[in-house]
Amino acid sequence: MRIGFYPGCSLNGTSREYNESVQALAKAMNIDLIEIKDWSCCGATAAHSMSKELSLALPARILALAEKQGFEEVVVPCASCYNRLSVTNHEIMHNEELKDKVLTAVGMPYFGNVKIINVLQLIEKYMVGQLSEKVTHPFAHQVACYYGCLLVRPHKILQFDRLEDPQSMDQILSLIGATPIDWAFKTECCGAGLSVARTDLVGRLSGNILKDADDRGAEAVIVACPMCHSNLDMRRSAINKNLEKPVDIPVLYITQALGLAIGLSPKELGLQRHFVKVNLKEVEACQR
Amino acid sequence: MENKKCISFGLERKTGVNVSHCYQCGKCTAGCALASDMDLPPSYIMRLLQTKNAENDHRVLSSNAIWICLNCENCIARCPKEVDIPQVMDYLREESRKKQCINEKSRSIVAFHSSFLHSVKQNGRLYEMGLIAEYKARTLNLLQDVNVAPSMLMKGKLHLLPEQIKDTKKIQTIFKRTIEIKDKRKV
């Protein structure tokens, strides 16, 4: 099958390991992901904080490129890019006047024939059927599945999973032998785009998330968003300043957890790129 | 104030959000992760906009709340009237920039967004090192992230040079036809 792939800037740089693990997992599952040629940035939080028109035009270029290159379905692993592309797709296809304005700025046609899916939908749709038989190293850990904001909100547009207590990641993790915990911060914000400008706030918000996961016995936090990952992982020293008891639980992308379970090596999944050491027994056994 | 000059008028015209739909239940503020750090929490912003009063409009546009808002969208998820507060916040940020009344304490956040967009405009994709260099130059926060940057480089998370797309001209045209129409100060 021919599935389009939009990595976005984070997966191209600061979250390289997410890209590596998505690619490695797709390859192991015989899924061909084809990168959209000459893709550009979606504009992220910066664009829609500064200009509504820009925040629609940047994603619209990507949608138009994908359509032109013949993709009906595009997987977007970054939750922020997934959100911006989905919201743009919805807004311009529901407002003719806005669509004309945005596409004039972009200078390309777009007919609305592209479907955007996130990484959980990719796994559910194309991998779940063959997952159980491929598991060689059950991921036997208590895990906190952390969805963050952008995969589930705005619910009216995204229509993905449950708004306050989503389940899709929990169900996928159960299939590889993990035990997802019940916890309170599944969709609370980590601080997202304020990582650089207000690291203090990110430290506090992400601290609340990790403390709850730790208190309830999670051995790992599982994410599907590069911003959630970099805030919970790279900002760990800022986080631990806010906590009475420092937390050392690792944060893994869902694609890394699945990859480990089907026997891919920690290196091809990019686990060495994390700031917080992934001190799980199967990873240490491989590295020895 | 003449009605057409107040924020709520322009807001409704551009986004369709009618502030009078808010009946002040406060669920947005209760669910907001940063309400306690905001000078005006979201439900109070809605109340001030309802007054259609010039002084209150100015308070809203010069607040720090509109800039530290994380766009996490919990407010609209919990609102019984589904008032689209995230759209309100986007509109208020644009107006705040246009009228040049950005909150003093929030300038670093605006500097980050500007540096981000500038990098995208030049390369088509984000160039993190360029972003951080420009952000430091704009804010003089020279020590920002000196502790994590070397490890990021070691872990292969930063590009030394920007990666440019082929069609950077198209991206520059998109900027010219959108954000730069209203905003004479280029990003």
Nearest CA in chain B to A164: B77
The percentage of chain B sitting over the pLDDT mark of 70, rounded to a whole number, equals 96
Q: Is it the case that residue A287 has pLDDT exceeding 80?
A: no
B163: tokens are: 């990666």
Query: What band does B160 get if pLDDT is binned at 50, 70 and 90?
Result: confident
Please report residues of B whose CB lies closer than 8 A to that of A154.
73, 76-77, 86
Nearest CA in chain A to B15: A52
Are the C-beta atoms of A51 and A83 separated by less than 8 Å? no
Please report residues of A whose CB lies closer than 8 A to that of B175.
54
What's the CATH fold of domain A130-287?
Answer: Rossmann fold (3.40.50)
B171: distance to nearest CA of chain A, Å? 8
Give the closest of A9, A46, A155 to B113, CB-based: A46
Strands A220-223 and A142-145: parallel
Q: What is the tens place of the pLDDT at every residue in A121-172?
A: 999 999 999 999 999 999 999 999 999 999 999 999 999 999 999 999 999 9
What average pLDDT does range A233-252 have in this prediction? 96
What residues are paired with A34 via a beta bridge?
A4
A261 phi and psi angles, rounded to 5 deg: -65, -30
Are the C-beta atoms of B80 and A200 separated by less than 8 Å? no
pLDDT of amino acid B168:
96
Please report residues of A whose CB lies closer than 8 A to that of B182.
51
Please report residues of B whose CB lies closer than 8 A to that of A187.
74
B98: tokens are: 């246009």
Give the closest of B14, B70, B148 to A192, CB-based: B70
Cβ B77–A153 below 8 Å, yes or no? yes
Task: Tell me what ipTM this predicted complex has.
Answer: 0.94
Q: What is the tens place of the pLDDT at every residue in B75-99?
A: 999 999 999 999 999 999 999 999 9
Please report residues of B whose CB lies closer than 8 A to that of A40.
120, 124-125, 165, 167, 171
pLDDT of amino acid A2:
80
Give the closest of B151, B167, B175 to A275, CB-based: B151
A188: distance to nearest CA of chain B, Å? 8
CATH classification number, A2-119, choose in 1.20.1050.140, 3.50.50.60, 3.65.10.10, 3.40.50.2300: 1.20.1050.140
Q: Where in chain A is the domain with CATH 3.40.50.11810?
A: 130-287
The predicted model scores a pTM of 0.95
Q: Is it the case that residue B3 has pLDDT exceeding 80?
A: no
Q: Which residue ranges form the domains of chain B, and what is each CATH number?
A: 3-101 (1.10.1060), 105-182 (no CATH)
Cβ B93–A201 below 8 Å, yes or no? no
Cβ A196–B165 below 8 Å, yes or no? no
Give the closest of A52, A58, A149 to B174, CB-based: A58
Residues in chain B: 187
pLDDT of amino acid B8:
96
pLDDT of amino acid A1:
63
3-state secondary structure chain A: CEEEECCHHHHHCCCHHHHHHHHHHHHHCCCEEEECCCCCCCCHHHHHHHCHHHHHHHHHHHHHHHHHCCCCEEECCCHHHHHHHHHHHHHHHCCHHHHHHHHHHHCCCCCCCCEEECHHHHHHHHCHHHHHHHCCCCCCCEEEECCCCCCCCCHHHHCCCCCCCCCHHHHHHHHCCCEECCCCCCCCCCCHHHCCCCHHHHHHHHHHHHHHHHHCCCCEEEECCHHHHHHHHCCHHHHHCCCCCCCCCCEEEHHHHHHHHCCCCCCCCCHHHCCCCCCCHHHHHHHC
Please tell me the least confidently modeled range out of A11-20, A198-207, B139-148. B139-148
Query: What band does B177 get if pLDDT is binned at 50, 70 and 90?
Result: very high
- Which one of B15, B70, B118, B146 would you mutate to disrupt binding with A, by most A Cβ within 10 Å of its Cβ? B70
B141: distance to nearest CA of chain A, Å? 9
Are the C-beta atoms of A53 and A105 separated by less than 8 Å? yes
Q: Where in chain A is the domain with CATH 1.20.1050.140?
A: 2-119
What average pLDDT does range A15-39 have in this prediction? 97
Cβ B165–A188 below 8 Å, yes or no? no
